[in-house]
Structure 1
Amino acid sequence: MKSVIKTFAAAALLAGASQAAMAAPAKPAAAAPAAAPAAATAGVNGIAVANLDAVIYNSVAFKKAQVDSEAQYKAQIDAAKAKETALNAQLRPLVEKFQKDRAAPGANQAALQTQVQQLQQMQEQGKAEIEKILEPVRLSNAYVLEQITDKRTTAVQAAMSKAGVTLLLNPEAILAATNAYNLNQQILNELNASLPSVGVVPPAGWLPREVREQQAQQGQGQPAPTTDGR
């Protein structure tokens, strides 16, 4: 119980719950490492390194989609923020009462435990309601990322071909490398040229690829629409 009490004592009143739920499934754009500057000779002896996640989050299509999504789903985002504010207002006096009761001489541990459970239940229920409100936003994020990821494969192949690269490695597998090996910018250039924008509203019935694959494995339902809506 002490760890839970400490959490509430630190004012964990769902602050930031809606922001976290609104984040993209992988990472927010601001957290993605920037693409490295283009080197004079990308790839040495046919070897190059590329952070493909960074390429996506720095792409023109992704950045534009973030702006479009905020406008398209403004009602849901505003509703989630309002719900968060209301929930914080509801929880705050209960947390303060809990802290006061806990500090009182001879505090009733059983009563404190009941208060903690009530606070946890309210917090979890509120978080679930916020996530429900933001479900269209999360689906939109998945749709955007899938469209860009699909096109990124072609961009990678084009950049590798132009730079004479035959082996592309993930930076996480490299201890150290100079920018002469970095193919980020070349891939980003190819991606921006081939995909300047993407839709933010999924087709009716669209599901993320991982869900479609799970359904296919389980033999459930009809094939879901692809990213192009067909």
Structure 2
Amino acid sequence: MTKISKTILKSAAVAMVAMTAPALMSVPAIAQSKSGIAMANYPAAMAKSQAYTVAMTQMQTTYKADIDAINARAAALQTEMKPIVDAYNTAVQKPGATAQSVQPQAQALQTKQQSAKQELSGLRQRIDLATAYVEEQIALKLEAAVKATMKTKNVDLVLSPDAVVAREPHVDITDAIVLELNKLVPSVSITPPAGWEPGKANQPQQPPAAQPASR
């Protein structure tokens, strides 16, 4: 994957896990038994799963035109932005330069950056949607994978990496969660259904509207 698409995927992964993954408890471990505590990195578990890695490989082919277009336009925008950046740097380095004196150059740079961001965002729409679809299909099985791993490892409490100050290697059950994910969701689709929106995959379908009784 390109640097741009990797960033897209990473961002989508974090957002999706935050939305659908079971909450990680951040509590002191002092009152817990050593064997009953574990640490897990949910985003890493999803990214290392078979379904995710295969999907990312497939996307390089299926969405190649989109990826190439993003890379090409990003390179062009960088070229377009260089004289604006140079003008700003020149203004800042002038003796006696102040925030007010460089305001025109700063405003021009900010405007160009925002415009470039919006343009690239538009080009990323299909990739963003496909990535969110991949993430959500895996995330829907994450809670079950975590529970199965906790049962197998005899774990009562799972902490996030941010809540851990020090640990032994065996405390990390991320790879064990990956194995459970591979069982529960060995593969996923990279093509969202028509009308699909992130966060709505697990919602019940609306019942059909009632038809008026025939007379």
Corresponding residue for 2:149?
159
Residue from 8, 24, 40 that aligns with 2:11: 24
Q: How does 1:121-200 map to 2 (within 5 A)?
A: 121-200=111-190
Which structure 1 residue ranges, 5 or more long, are not aligned?
1-15, 28-42, 217-221, 224-230
Q: How many residues are matched?
A: 184
In the alignment, the residues of structure 1 paired with residue 119 and residue 173 of structure 2 have an alpha-carbon distance, to the nearest angstrom, of: 43
Cα deviation for residue 150 of structure 1 reads 1.0
In the alignment, the residues of structure 2 paired with residue 19 and residue 48 of structure 1 have an alpha-carbon distance, to the nearest angstrom, of: 29
Residue from 41, 66, 90 that aligns with 1:51: 41
In the alignment, the residues of structure 2 paired with residue 170 and residue 93 of structure 1 have an alpha-carbon distance, to the nearest angstrom, of: 45
Q: Provide Cα deviations, 1:201-230, integer angstroms capped at 9, x if missing partner.
A: 211111111xx49xx9xxxxx86xxxxxxx
Paired letter, 2:85: V
In the alignment, the residues of structure 1 paired with residue 96 and residue 166 of structure 2 have an alpha-carbon distance, to the nearest angstrom, of: 59
Paired letter, 2:171: Y
CA 1:17–1:108 in 2, change beyond 3 Å: closer, same or farther?
farther
In the alignment, the residues of structure 2 paired with residue 65 and residue 21 of structure 1 have an alpha-carbon distance, to the nearest angstrom, of: 14
- What is the TM-score of this pair, normalised by structure 1? 0.66
Aligned-residue CA RMSD in angstroms? Answer: 3.2
Query: Is the deviation greater in 162-171 or in 51-60?
Result: 162-171
In the alignment, the residues of structure 1 paired with residue 185 and residue 70 of structure 2 have an alpha-carbon distance, to the nearest angstrom, of: 31
The answer to whether the 8 A contact 1:18-1:131 is kept is no
In the alignment, the residues of structure 1 paired with residue 8 and residue 174 of structure 2 have an alpha-carbon distance, to the nearest angstrom, of: 29
CA 1:96–1:61 in 2, change beyond 3 Å: closer, same or farther?
same
In the alignment, the residues of structure 1 paired with residue 100 and residue 165 of structure 2 have an alpha-carbon distance, to the nearest angstrom, of: 54
Cα deviation for residue 105 of structure 1 reads 7.0
Tell me, what secondary structure is at the counterpart of 2:141? helix
Query: Is the deviation greater in 109-118 or in 53-62?
Result: 109-118
In the alignment, the residues of structure 2 paired with residue 91 and residue 168 of structure 1 have an alpha-carbon distance, to the nearest angstrom, of: 46
Corresponding residue for 1:208?
198
Tell me, what secondary structure is at the counterpart of 1:61? helix
The answer to whether the 8 A contact 1:24-1:138 is kept is no
Percent identity between matched residues is: 35
In the alignment, the residues of structure 2 paired with residue 193 and residue 80 of structure 1 have an alpha-carbon distance, to the nearest angstrom, of: 35
In the alignment, the residues of structure 1 paired with residue 101 and residue 155 of structure 2 have an alpha-carbon distance, to the nearest angstrom, of: 67
Corresponding residue for 2:23?
none
The answer to whether the 8 A contact 2:46-2:139 is kept is yes
Residue from 87, 96, 103 that aligns with 2:77: 87
Task: Please say if 1:96 is aligned against 2:83.
Answer: no
Cα deviation for residue 81 of structure 1 reads 1.4
